[in-house]
Amino acid sequence: MSFFLQLVVSGFALGMVYALIAIGFVIILKCSKAFNIAQGHFVMIGGYLGFTFLVTFHLPVWASLILAVAAAIILGLLIERFTLRPLVGQPVLAVIMMTIALATVLEGLATLVWGGEYKTYHGVLPTITLKIGELSIPPETLIGVMVSIAVVTILMLFFRYTRSGLAMMATAEDEQVVQSAGIKVTTVYALSWVIACVVGVIGGIILGGVSGVMIPLANVGLKAFAVVLLGGVNSIGGAIVAGIMVGVLENIAAGYLDPLLPSGGGLASVFPFIVMIIVLIFRPHGLFGLVEIERI
């Protein structure tokens, strides 16, 4: 039983990171009606920034996090201004192709700057360990849970109670009505890309602290994509719930199902997609997605 609970707790921590990354997907999707294929690459950049500030420059965790967030804000503004803004009013496919190009460019830049070697910064994080009975939560996991919950809470409060957050939600519903109310849509788009970059970078720092950083870390974007589809593409709350579900189920699959395979593993990495397929067969709009009904 303690082994199962350990898997659930660590899966919850992983799921919160997935939820954080998935929120970036949902925000861009709600504003531009396009999937941001580069979201996973923001995560990869975040991991490398964490390594740079914590290991290369030997900065404290709080300073590294602030600098990484500042870099993410600048990156988001540059991406929106020079690559996405010229595509306003263009077909959705053009935006998706641009995010694919962004993913390729970011991967190339990361390889050029940091190389392809595995990098880690486990030892530089604070040694905070929580023990509940027989359960033991390692420092990297505990810090990841705390940071993820804090960021998700801040985002939920931002969308619910701030003028900018409400403007973003309104833009996602009806762009023309928002423009008639005097809200500058380009500013909303810029803010959405900044938030997507920030949550991706923070998620990358957390995952880098747990499992290290390599170029394939960008593949976590595929799991976040599965989380978005599972929760409902237009639901931020659904992304949070689905992220936790995927993290817990992935960990349980790794603990109980992988040892049963002749190869010794591999099912956990595809298990989130198996769950996504099963759910979407019965609920095509996801667990919490809204069904749009068009009347003629």
Cβ atoms of 32 and 92 closer than 8 Å: yes
Q: Would 144 be classed as within a structural domain?
A: yes
Helix locations, the chain, DSSP H: 2-32, 39-51, 61-79, 92-114, 139-161, 163-173, 175-180, 185-211, 220-231, 236-252, 267-282
- Length of the chain in residues, anyone? 296
Q: Would 228 be classed as within a structural domain?
A: no
279 or 50: which leads in pLDDT: 50
Q: Would 70 be classed as within a structural domain?
A: yes
When divided into structural domains, the chain yields a total of 1
* Three-state SS at 283: coil
Structure-block tokens of residue 102: 């962004």
- Return d(Cα 133, Cα 293) in angstroms, integer: 51
The confidence score (pLDDT) of residue 187 equals 83
pLDDT, the chain, mean: 84
Q: Would 192 be classed as within a structural domain?
A: yes
Q: Say if residue 101's pLDDT is above 80.
A: yes
Q: Would 275 be classed as within a structural domain?
A: no
Q: Would 19 be classed as within a structural domain?
A: yes
Averaged pLDDT for residues 270-291: 80
pTM (2 d.p.):
0.90
**Which domain does 183 fall in, by range?**
11-218
- Return d(Cα 189, Cα 51) in angstroms, integer: 30
* Three-state SS at 119: strand
pLDDT band for position 128 (cuts 50, 70, 90): low
- According to DSSP, residue 137 is labeled E
Q: Would 225 be classed as within a structural domain?
A: no
Among the residue ranges 140-144, 147-151, 248-252, the one predicted with the least confidence is 140-144
CA-derived radius of gyration, the chain = 19
Q: Would 159 be classed as within a structural domain?
A: yes
Q: Who contacts 184 (Cβ-Cβ below 8 Å, separation ≥6)?
A: none
The confidence score (pLDDT) of residue 174 equals 66
- According to DSSP, residue 259 is labeled G
